[in-house]
Structure 1
Amino acid sequence: MNRSRLTALRAFPASGVLRSLCSLRVWAVAAGALVALTPAQAQQSLLNASYDVAREFYREINPAFVQSYQQQTGQAIKVDQAHGGSSAQARAVREGLQADVVTMNTTTDIDFLADNGLVAKDWAQQFPYDAAPTTSTMLFLVRKGNPKGIRDWADLVKPGVQVVVVNPKTGGNGRYAYLAAWGAVLEGGGTPEQAREFVAQLYKNVPVLGKGGRDATAVFLQRNIGDVLVTFESEVLSVEREFGKGRVDVVYPSTSVLAENPVALVQPVVQKKGTEQAARAYLQFLYSEQAQEIAARHGLRPRSQAVLERHAQQFKPIKLFRVQEHFGSLGQAQKVHFNDGGEFDRLYGAGQGAGRR
C-alpha cells in the first residue's frame, strides 16, 4: 500500500472504514444493477406512425399506456410519435421509417404496407373490430354564424362556395371526404353517374387541397381560405383547443361515411428491435376502458358501448353508411378512384388543371 493511501485510511477509525467500504460495496452492486438494466430499458422504445389529426389523442394515450405497462410488467417504456397524412406516413414506413406500429385512418394504407411485406396479411384479424379500436365520420366546419348557409352536401356545390378538403391521394381524411360526398348521392337514390357529376362539381369549388388533416385546418383557419372545411368529427375538439371555442360552427350533414381507424404491427421492425410484445400491448391498450374514454374526449367514437353512452350528447346521431355498401371495400375504392389515372385524377384534373394539384 502506498503512503498516501495509508495516510488516508489512518484518518478514519476502523469502524468508519468498514462502514465506508460496505457503503461503497452496496453502491457498486446497485450501480451494477442499474447498468445491467439500462440496455434492456433503452430497447423498450416504440414509434407510432400515425395520421395527421391524431396528434393530441396519442399525446394523451402514450403516457397513460406507459404508466399501465409499467404497472403490469415492471418495465419502463417510451413511446414516440410521427404524424402526417395517412398515406404519406405509410409510404414513409415503406421507405424505412422505423415505426413499431401504425395507427391509420384508412385500411388501404395498412393494406399497402401488407402488400410490401411490412404488415401481416391477416392484420385485421389480430385485434378486435377488424383491428379498428375507434371510428369517426366526416362533417363540416363553417365560419361563425354560417354565413353561406351550409346545411348539407348539396350546399357545397353552390356557386361562390369554397370548400377546403385534404388531397385524397395523400391522406385518409381526403379519401373519406370524397367517398362521403359520392356516397351521399347514392344514399339519396342517385345513380353512379350523378354521383360522379356531383363530386366533380364539388372539387371545382376547392381552391386548395390540404396535404393532411392538420394542413387543411391551417388553410381554413390560419390562411382564412374557404367557406367550409370537410374533415373528421374528431377535428372539432382539436380546433377548439387550438383556436378557441366559437371560432367555427359545426354542421352535421344528413348522411356521411363511417370512418374506421385501423392499427397494425410493423413486423420487420418489431422483430428486429425485439419489441413485438410491447408493441402488441400498446395496440391492445387502445381497446381498454381507459383508452376508450380518452378517445371519446378527443372526439373519436369509441367501440365501448358503455363509454359511448356516457358521451351520448357529444356524438350526435347521424345516418352512416359503410364504405363496403357502395364501393365494395376501401381497397377497391382506392383502385377505382384514387390510384393514378383513377376517377379523382380525371374529375379533378378536368375541373382544376394538373397544376393546382
Structure 2
Amino acid sequence: MSFWQHILESKQIFLKIVNKFRLNSIKGFLSLFLVGVSLSVAIAACSGNGASNSSTSTDAGGSTATPVAANKQDVRLTLVSFAVTKAAHDAIIPKFVEQWKKEHNQNVSFDQSYGGSGSQTRAVIDGLEADVVHLALGLDVDKIQKAKLIEPGWEKEFPNNAIVSKSVAALVTRPGNPKGLKTWADLAKDNVKLITADPKTSGIARWNFLALWNSVAKTGGGDQKALEFVTKVYKNVPILTKDAREATDIFAKRGQGDALINYENEIILAQQKGEKVDYVIPDVNVSIDNPIAIVDQNVDKHRNREVAEAFVKYLYTPEAQQEFAKVGFRPIEETPQTKELASKYPKVKSLGTVQDYGGWDSIQKKFFEDGAVFDQIQAKK
C-alpha cells in the first residue's frame, strides 16, 4: 500500500471518530487526542518505510546496497611516467584494475603518458592533468611541487621515501669491449671517447655525472680529486646531447664513441627485445632511485584520490615489484617473488645514494646550477 493511500484511509477513520465523540466532554476530547497521536505515529511509520525503500537497491545477486555502492561511477586515473617504465606498468595496471573491481565493485581505467622525465615534468606543470607521476629523479617531482601542484612532504607519503623503482648506472661498450673498459676510471684514459647527454638538460645525464663523481667519493677521494677526475672524463666527451635518447642514437646508430652510460634496466629491456648489448656494471655505483607521487591538485579536482593512493600503494606489493624486476629494475626490497630475479643482477660492492650528497636540492645547487661545478668543468674543456 502506498504512502498516500495510508493517509486517505487514516483521514476517513479520523472523521468517523470525530462524529462518534462529542468534543464538549473531557472524556471525548481525551479519546480524540489519543487517537490523533496514534494516527500520527502510524503515518510517520509509513513515511519511514517509504524512505527506507527508496534508499536501498538490490543487485543481481539479491543483496541490498545503498545507491552509492550500487551505482558507483567508473574512475579514470592519468599516469605520467618516464619512458622505460611502460613495460612494467603495462603488466601491473591490469592486475590492479582486477583487484579493485573485485574489492570495490568499481571499474578503473587509465590514461597513460610516457616520455623523457624532464619533458613529462614540464608537461604536467604546463597543464597535463596527471593524477600520479612516476619520474626518473626526485628533482623532477620537486619541480612539480614548486609549481604548487603537489603538496610539500610528498616523499614521506609512501614507503622508502616514495621510491618505487630503482636501477644502477651501466657502462655500455662496443661489441667485445675492445678498449677493455671495466671501471669508471677507464673513462678518463686518453684514447677513450664517451657519449653522454648534457646534465643541464637531461635527467639521466645527472645520474651519469653523479655516478662518476661518486666513484671517487666512495673510494676515499675528496671533492678536489673528484673534480679532477670528472673534468678528465668530460674532456673525452665529443658532444653533449640534449637527452639520453639522442645519446643512445649517436652511440648505437651512428657508431660514435667507445662507451655510453645508461640505466641498467634500459639495457636489460633492450636485450629482452632481441638487441645485443655489451655492458659492464661498475662495482662502485649509484642507486638510481625513481620516485612516485600523487598530484594533489589534480586528484582533488578529479575526486579520485582514494583510487590514486590505492594504485600507488599497490606498486609496492610483491606482485607489482616482480613486474618491475622482470623488465630490469632492481627490487626496492628483496621478497620471495623477486629474489630469483634479483640474483641475476651483478653485485654492486659500494652503492652511493642521493642522500649521501644532501638530497637533490643540494646536488642541483652544487653541480648543475649556472656557474656551479658542471659549468666550471665545461669552461676548462
Instruction: Write the letter of the residue equivalent to 2:307.
Output: A
Deviation at 1:71, TM superposition (A): 2.5
Q: 1:102 aligns with which of 129, 133, 141?
A: 133
Instruction: Write the letter of the residue equivalent to 1:316.
Output: P
Instruction: Write the letter of the residue equivalent to 1:347.
Output: I
Aligned residues: 310
> Does 2:249 correspond to 1:218?
yes
Instruction: Write the letter of the residue equivalent to 2:373.
Output: E
> Does 2:309 correspond to 1:280?
yes
Deviation at 1:179, TM superposition (A): 0.6
Range with greater deviation from structure 2 (294-303 or 208-217):
208-217
Task: Give runs of aligned pairs for residues 1-357 of structure 1, distance below 5 A.
Answer: 40-41=73-74, 44-242=75-273, 244-245=274-275, 247-306=276-335, 307-318=337-348, 319-325=350-356, 327-351=357-381
Secondary structure at the counterpart of residue 263 of structure 1:
strand
Structure 1 pair 75/212, CA: closer, same or farther in 2 (3 Å)? farther
Instruction: Write the letter of the residue equivalent to 1:282.
Output: F
Write the distance in 2 (CA, Å) between the matches of 1:65 and 1:213. Answer: 31
Deviation at 1:345, TM superposition (A): 2.5
Secondary structure at the counterpart of residue 166 of structure 2:
strand
Range with greater deviation from structure 2 (173-182 or 203-212):
203-212
Instruction: Write the letter of the residue equivalent to 2:162.
Output: A
Deviation at 1:137, TM superposition (A): 1.1
Structure 1 pair 85/340, CA: closer, same or farther in 2 (3 Å)? farther
Deviation at 1:349, TM superposition (A): 4.6
Deviation at 1:266, TM superposition (A): 0.7
Contact 1:108–1:331 (CA under 8 A) maintained in structure 2: yes
Deviations 1:111-157 (A, max 9, x none): 22222211121111111111112221111111210011111011112
Write the distance in 2 (CA, Å) between the matches of 1:281 and 1:48. Answer: 13
Write the distance in 2 (CA, Å) between the matches of 1:125 and 1:190. Answer: 32
Structure 1 pair 71/204, CA: closer, same or farther in 2 (3 Å)? farther
The percent of aligned pairs where both chains have the same amino acid is 35
Deviation at 1:39, TM superposition (A): 10
Write the distance in 1 (CA, Å) between the matches of 2:161 and 2:245. Answer: 26
> Structure 2 length as normaliser, TM-score?
0.76
- State the Cα RMSD in Å: 2.1
Write the distance in 1 (CA, Å) between the matches of 2:97 and 2:87. Answer: 16
Write the distance in 1 (CA, Å) between the matches of 2:134 and 2:160. Answer: 14
- Structure 2 stretches lacking a partner, 5+ long: 1-69
Contact 1:88–1:170 (CA under 8 A) maintained in structure 2: no
- Structure 1 stretches lacking a partner, 5+ long: 1-36, 352-357
Secondary structure at the counterpart of residue 73 of structure 2:
helix
Contact 2:72–2:106 (CA under 8 A) maintained in structure 1: no
Higher relative contact order (CA 8 A, sep 6+): 1
Write the distance in 2 (CA, Å) between the matches of 1:256 and 1:328. Answer: 17
> Structure 1 length as normaliser, TM-score?
0.81
